[in-house]
Amino acid sequence: MQFDWILTLGINNLFMLIAIFVIVGIIIQAIFLGIGLGFVNGRNRELGTTFVTAIMMSLVLWIPCLGCILAWYFIKSRHDVGWGGALIAWILGAVVQILVVIGIMFLFFAPLFAAIMAGLLPGFPMP
């Protein structure tokens, strides 16, 4: 089979790969949260404070419905913006983070993605 190496990775390497994607995602979100706070005139836009805010947001975003409100509250209270500014900064950080992580996944796992899509969609070209 073409992707036997995935099965031989082992569970430890899989957890390490997931941890790397989570850490890279938090760093990307912290950077673009700082940029988003610049659009809404937020304070404390240094990388360290936005990194702490991104970590706090990633810890509470797993809570359904309440997690988003808590993330907006963290942005609002830590960076002195209103609710609307917190929402705009959060959306900008989240959208860019998702696009960059998907781009990294396509860069490293393009053959795997193509094989999955070929199995799901008839007529999709096989790599």
Q: What is the pLDDT along the chain (127 residues), one digit of tens a residue?
A: 556 666 666 666 777 778 888 888 888 889 989 888 988 888 888 888 999 999 999 899 888 889 889 999 999 999 989 999 999 998 888 888 888 878 887 787 777 777 766 766 666 565 5
Q: Is 96 within a domain? A: yes
Position 9 in a domain: no
How many independent structural domains does the chain possess?
A: 1
Verdict on whether the full-model pTM lies above 0.85: no
* Distance, CA of 79 to CA of 92 (rounded, Å): 15
pLDDT digits (tens, 9 = 90+) for 101-112: 788 877 877 777
In a domain, 6, yes or no: no
Write the burial class of residue 122 (CB in 10 Å: 0-12 exposed, 13-18 middle, 19+ buried): exposed
- Residue ranges of alpha helices (H) inside 40-124 are 47-60, 66-79, 83-120
The Cα–Cα gap between 37 and 61 comes to: 19
